[in-house]
Amino acid sequence: MGVSTVQSAAVFGLRVELVNVEADVGNGLPAFHMVGYLSSEVKEAGERVRTAIRNSGLEFPAKKTVINLSPATIRKRGAAFDLPIAIAILTSLGTVAQKDTKGLLILGELGLDGAVHKVPGVLPVVMEAKKQGICRCMIPLENEQEARLVDGMEVTGVQTLKEAFEWIKGTKKRRLSQQKKKGMEVSKGKVYGEERECAEEKPDFQDICGQSAVKRAVEVAVAGGHNLLMVGPPGSGKTMIAKRIPTILPPLTLEESLEITKIYSIVGQIDGQEPLIRTRPFRSVHHTVTKTALTGGGLIPSPGEITLAHGGVLFLDELPEFRKPVLEVLRQPLEERKIWISRTHGTYLFPANFMLVCAMNPCPCGEFGSGNCTCTPGQVRGYLGKLSQPFLDRMDLCVEAPKVTYAALKGKMSGRKTAERKGETSAQIRQRVCAAREIQNRRFSDSGTGFNAMMSIREVEQYCKLGDKEEALIQMAYERLGLTARSYHKILKVARTIADLAGSEKIESMHLAEAIGYRSFDQEYRGGIL
C-alpha cells in the first residue's frame, strides 16, 4: 500500500485543467477523507466509489483512505472524478500496478452497481490531454465516439468499473479507437457530408410567397455575416423566413465543426453515436429568457445561448417583448464576438461569433401604417422605445416585411409555371452565399477576420474605398438620416458584401444605395426606430 496517482481533468467554462487524483490507503481508523477544493457533488463521490468497488466484486478493506485532487487552487465539480478515484484507490491497494495507469487519462461517473455513466465535456478534455502529451484515455462507453474525434488518441470505452479494472490489468483485450470519421471528407477546409443533411431538410426558401426584398436582405446578411432586423405585421412570414436561414448558411469547416462540438459537449447536448456537429447552430430564444440563460452563468459558468449559437444564428422573435436589460447584454458580444464572465474565483471566456436575426411588429397591434392600427402615437413610441439606439446601431440590416398579398399567396402570376412562381430554392441562394464567402476568405486569408461583418476600422478603410460619386452619396445619407459613426461603418461593410455578391471589386453607387436603404426604411414610422 502507498500513495498512487491517476490523471483526470476538470472543465472551467471552455478551459480544461489536468487534475492529479492521489489516493493513500493505509493503517488507521476506518475513514474516507477527500480534499482539494471540492464541490458538493465531488465530495459525495466517496460513498458512490466505496459502494461501486464492493458491488464490482473488488476488495475495499476497512482502512483509512485519503483522496487528494490537485492542484488544490482549482475548484473541482461534477461526477466525472468517480472512476479515476476508484482506480486510484485500487492502485494504492496494489490491485492495479502504478505503471499501468501512467500516461492514462480517466473520466467517468459511477453508479452504485459499478456501472460507468456518461459525462459531459469529454471532447475538450481529450483535446487538451493530447496537447499535454497524453496519448491514452479511458472514458464511459457512451462517450467513446465523441473521444474518437481526436486524432492520435487511444480511446478505451468502459461500461463498468470491473471492466475498467480488467483492461488496465491486461486481462481483457483493450479496444483501441479508429480515427476514421465515417461519412466525412475534408478538402480545402470544408466538411462534406453536411450537404446531405441540408438536402434532407424540408424547409426551403422556395416555400416563401413573395417577400423578395426580405429574402434579398437575408441573402446579403448571411453572405457577410451581418446582423438582421425584420419589421412587419403578424403573418408576414418573418419567423418562417428566419427558420429557413440555416438552409443557406455556408458549410462548416472541420475546425469550426470541432469547435462547435466542443461547446455542445460541455453542456451535454451531443449525439453519442454521431457526435460531430456538421450543421451550423440555429438558436431560437423565447422572450422570457434571463440574462444568465442568454450569456451563461453559474458558480462555474456554463455556456449560454449566445455561445451555443457560436458559428451560427441566434434568433430573437418579438424583439420588443424582451426585457431591455436582457437585450443590452448583447451589445458587447456583438462587437467583440466573445463574452467574458467574471466570478470571485476566476474569469471565463466564451466565444460568441454568431449572426443575430431579430423580428418584430411595427407597433403593439402590428397594423401600423395599414390604416387598421388601433394604437395611439404614445403607444407606438413606447413600443419602439423599448429598443435602445446603441442596440439598434448594431443591427447591420433593417428590412420591412410587408403584408403578403393575395396574389403572391396564391401565386397568380400570369404566364409562369408553378416552380418559377415559388422563387429560388435554398440551394440556389446558398450557392451565391458560398461564392461571396469564398471571396472574403481569400481577402482575409492573412488575418483573423472571417467575413465582412468582422472587419476592423483599418480593414474597412482598406477594402471599402469609395469613388467621388459614392462619397457624395454616403455623405448625403449620413447627414439626412442622422447616422452614427458605427452605422456609417456598418453601411460600408454591407455595401462590400453586396459588391461581393455581384462579383465586383469596387463598391459602386448601386451597391452603396442598397446598403443605405437597409437603414432608412424606418422613416415611414413615426418616431423612427434607428
Q: What are the residues whose beta carbons fall under 8 Å from the beta carbon of 217, sequence distance 6 or more?
A: 228, 230, 397, 399, 518
Q: Report yes or no on 254 lying in a domain.
A: yes
**151 and 210 housed in the same domain:** no
- Look at residue 161 and tell me if it is in a domain: yes
In a domain, 175, yes or no: no
pLDDT digit string, tens, across residues 195-205: 444 445 568 89
Higher pLDDT, 199 or 236: 236
pLDDT value, residue 175: 52
The residue out of 169, 203, 227 marking a domain boundary is 169
Low-confidence winner among 176-190, 433-447, 461-475 (lowest mean pLDDT):
176-190
Q: Could you tell me if 27 and 151 lie in one domain?
A: yes
- pLDDT of residue 183 exceeding 50, the answer is no
Query: Residue 506 belongs to what domain range?
Result: 190-524
pLDDT digits (tens, 9 = 90+) for 340-398: 988 777 788 899 999 999 999 988 888 877 777 888 888 888 888 888 888 888 999 99
Q: Rounded to an integer, what distance in angstroms lies between the CA atom of residue 504 and that of residue 498?
A: 9
The residue among 117, 134, 169 that closes a domain is 169
Q: Which of these three, 140, 169, 198, is where a domain ends?
A: 169
Q: In sequence order, which residues have a C-beta less than 8 Å from that of residue 148 and are 6 or more positions away?
A: 155, 177, 178, 179
pLDDT bin (cut points 50, 70, 90) of residue 520 is low
Query: Residue 521 above 80 pLDDT?
Result: no
Q: Quick check: 496 pLDDT over 90?
A: yes
Q: Do 204 and 137 lie in a common domain?
A: no
Residue 406: which pLDDT band, with cuts at 50, 70 and 90? Answer: confident
228 confidence band (pLDDT: 50, 70, 90): very high
Cell of 189: 477546409
- Work out the average pLDDT over 119-127: 95
pLDDT at residue 278 above 80?
A: yes
Same domain, 423 and 472: yes
| Residues 122 and 221 occupy one common structural domain | no
Q: CB neighbours (10 Å) of residue 184?
A: 15
Residue 46 and residue 17 in one domain: yes
pLDDT at residue 415 is higher than 50: no
Query: And the C-alpha cell for 250?
Result: 455556408
Do residues 149 and 201 share a domain? no
The residues near 306 (Cβ < 8 Å, ≥ 6 apart) are 294, 295, 296, 314, 330, 333, 339, 350, 352, 354
Q: Answer yes or no: do 334 and 205 share one domain.
A: yes
- Domain annotation covers residue 182: no
In a domain, 177, yes or no: no
DSSP, collapsed to helix, strand or coil, labels residue 371 as coil
- 181 in a structural domain: no
User: Do 16 and 94 sit in the same domain of this protein?
Assistant: yes
Q: How confident is the model at residue 85 (pLDDT cuts 50, 70, 90)?
A: very high
Residues 6+ away with beta carbon under 8 Å from 154: 135, 136, 137, 176, 177
- Which regions of 246-303 does DSSP assign to beta strands (E)? 282-285, 296-297, 302-303
DSSP class of 175? P
pLDDT number for residue 188 = 39
Asked whether the predicted pLDDT for residue 419 surpasses 60, the reply is no
Are both 35 and 158 inside the same structural domain?
yes
Whether residues 149 and 290 fall in one domain: no
Q: Is residue 301 part of a domain?
A: yes
Q: How many domains does the chain have?
A: 2
Residue 144 sits in a domain of what CATH number?
Answer: 3.30.230.10
Global confidence as pTM: 0.88
Q: What is the CATH number of the domain that holds 481?
A: 3.40.50.300
Does residue 322 share a domain with residue 257?
Answer: yes
Q: Which pLDDT does position 381 carry in this prediction?
A: 84
- Residue 184 falls within a domain, yes or no? no
Give me the residue label for grid cell 419567423: 239
Tell me the β-bridge partners of 6.
21
